[in-house]
Amino acid sequence: MALKDKPIVSADAAKPPAETPPAKPETNGTRPAPRVNEEIDKQLNAYIDANKEAFDRYTKLVQENPERAARTLMLKDMQAHKASQRLVEKQLPAAVEWYDKQKPEVKKSIDERVAKASPFDRDGEFVRAVVRERNWQNRLPLAQTPRMAAGARP
């Protein structure tokens, strides 16, 4: 059952955009058509054309052994994750050193972000939280300086 809109009481109420997107049909459990990014599609089509043998191999794998195809895709995801983890391992000592020098409130903020992460990605989330906080602290002095007159340069 769809919800009904409340009637607009005043003329000051926000008006809908001139072109309202069409309402999404109810799917009753069916999957919607996949979205297509035309730019990515062009790049992928060119890559497939250049690598017909690999495309045929993957197509055959999906048709004949779907479980193996899913494992192949997961393997690629795992390899990308491992590459990301190698970078995290390189950054972790510097992140821990920086973290140890921070005030308790900064540590608490970082700890809260890390606590929400899955145990599998806790180190990566720690490094990302430290980098985010460092970037914020580096920008903070710029935000606190008085604004200069328009067009003036330092």
User: For 125, what's the count of Cα atoms within 13 Å in the CB-facing half-sphere?
Assistant: 14
How do residues 103-118 score in pLDDT, each as one tens digit?
A: 999 999 999 999 999 8
This prediction has a pTM of 0.53
Using the structure block, give the residue that is written with the tokens 């590459």: 83
pLDDT at 105: 94
Checking if the pLDDT of 1 tops 50, the result is no
In tens, the pLDDT along 19-29 reads: 655 666 565 67
The residue with greater pLDDT, 149 or 86, is: 86
53 vs 44: CA distance, rounded Å: 15
Whole-Å CA distances, 137 to 6, 107, 131, 140:
45, 13, 10, 5
- The arithmetic mean of pLDDT across residues 20-46, rounded, is 79
Domain assignments of the chain as residue spans, ordered by start: 45-143
